[in-house]
Structure 1
Amino acid sequence: MRKLFLIITSIIVLLGIWLLISSKQATESTTRIQAKLADVKDFKYYLDQGNDKIGKEMANTDLVIVEPIEMQQKYIDHAQENGTLIYGYINAMEADKWNSELYSQLNEADFYIDKYGEKMYFSEWDSYLMDMTSQHYQELLLEEIQKQIVQKGLDGVFLDTVGNINSYLPEKEQEAQNEAMLSFIKKIKQQYSGLSVAQNWGFQTLADYTAPYIDFIMWENFSYDVVGEDDWALDRMKQLVHIRDKFGTQVMAIGFEDEEKSRALAEKYQFKFFYSPAGSHYNTWQ
Structure 2
Amino acid sequence: MRKIYIIILTVLFISTCLLLNNNVNELPNPSTTIKEKLAAVEDYKYYLDKGNNTIGQEMQKMDLVIVEPIEMQQPYIEAAQEKGTLIFGYINAMEADKWNEAFYQQLQEIDFYKDEYGEKMYFAEWDSYLMDMTSAHYQNLLLQEIQKQIVHKGLDGVFLDTVGNIDSFLPPKEQGQQNQAMLTFIKKIKQQFNGLSVAQNWGFQTLAEYTAPYIDFIMWENFSYDVVGEDDWSLDKMNKLKQLREKFGTQVMTIGFNRETQSRVLAEKHHFKFLYNPAGSYYNSWKID
TM-score after normalising by structure 1: 0.89
Q: 2: distance between equivalents of 1:258 and 1:133?
A: 39
State whether residues 30 and 194 of structure 1, in contact with CA within 8 Å, keep that contact through their aligned partners in structure 2: no
Secondary structure of the residue aligned to 1:90 is strand
Q: 2: distance between equivalents of 1:107 and 1:218?
A: 30
Q: 2: distance between equivalents of 1:80 and 1:61?
A: 10
Secondary structure of the residue aligned to 2:119 is coil
Q: CA deviation at 1:31?
A: 6.3
Q: CA deviation at 1:271?
A: 0.4
Deviations 1:222-244 (A, max 9, x none): 00000000000000000000000
Deviations 1:2-57 (A, max 9, x none): xxxxxxxxxxxxxxxxxxxxxxxxxxx99610000000001100000000000000
What residue in structure 1 maps to residue 93 of structure 2? Answer: 92
What residue in structure 1 maps to residue 46 of structure 2? Answer: 45
Q: CA deviation at 1:192?
A: 0.2
Q: CA deviation at 1:260?
A: 0.2
The yes-or-no answer on 1:238 pairing with 2:239 is yes
Q: 2: distance between equivalents of 1:42 and 1:241?
A: 20
What residue in structure 2 maps to residue 132 of structure 1? Answer: 133
The yes-or-no answer on 1:67 pairing with 2:62 is no
State whether residues 189 and 195 of structure 2, in contact with CA within 8 Å, keep that contact through their aligned partners in structure 1: no
Secondary structure of the residue aligned to 2:191 is helix
Secondary structure of the residue aligned to 1:281 is coil
The code of the aligned residue for 2:97 comes to D
Deviations 1:98-148 (A, max 9, x none): 000000000000000001110000000000000000000000000000000
Mark the structure with the bigger radius of gyration: 2
The code of the aligned residue for 1:264 comes to V
Summarize the alignment of residues 73-152 of structure 1 with structure 2, pairs less than 5 Å apart: 73-152=74-153
Report how many aligned residue pairs link the two structures.
259
Would the alpha carbon gap of residues 92 and 269 (structure 1) be closer, same or farther in structure 2, given more than 3 Å must change? same
The code of the aligned residue for 1:131 comes to D
Identical columns (%): 75
Q: CA deviation at 1:194?
A: 2.9
Q: 2: distance between equivalents of 1:129 and 1:30?
A: 40
Would the alpha carbon gap of residues 220 and 30 (structure 1) be closer, same or farther in structure 2, given more than 3 Å must change? farther
Q: 2: distance between equivalents of 1:65 and 1:275?
A: 14
What residue in structure 1 maps to residue 208 of structure 2? Answer: 207
Q: 1: distance between equivalents of 2:47 and 2:174?
A: 32
Alignment gaps of 5+ in structure 2:
1-29
What residue in structure 2 maps to residue 182 of structure 1? Answer: 183
Would the alpha carbon gap of residues 248 and 30 (structure 1) be closer, same or farther in structure 2, given more than 3 Å must change? farther
Q: 2: distance between equivalents of 1:83 and 1:111?
A: 39
The code of the aligned residue for 1:95 comes to A
Q: 2: distance between equivalents of 1:193 and 1:181?
A: 18
State whether residues 158 and 196 of structure 2, in contact with CA within 8 Å, keep that contact through their aligned partners in structure 1: yes
Q: 1: distance between equivalents of 2:102 and 2:32?
A: 35
The code of the aligned residue for 1:62 comes to D
RMSD of the TM alignment (CA)? 1.2
Secondary structure of the residue aligned to 2:242 is helix
Between 99-108 and 30-39, the greater mean CA deviation after superposition: 30-39
Summarize the alignment of residues 17-56 of structure 1 with structure 2, pairs less than 5 Å apart: 32-56=33-57
The code of the aligned residue for 2:264 comes to R
Secondary structure of the residue aligned to 1:182 is helix
The code of the aligned residue for 2:141 comes to L
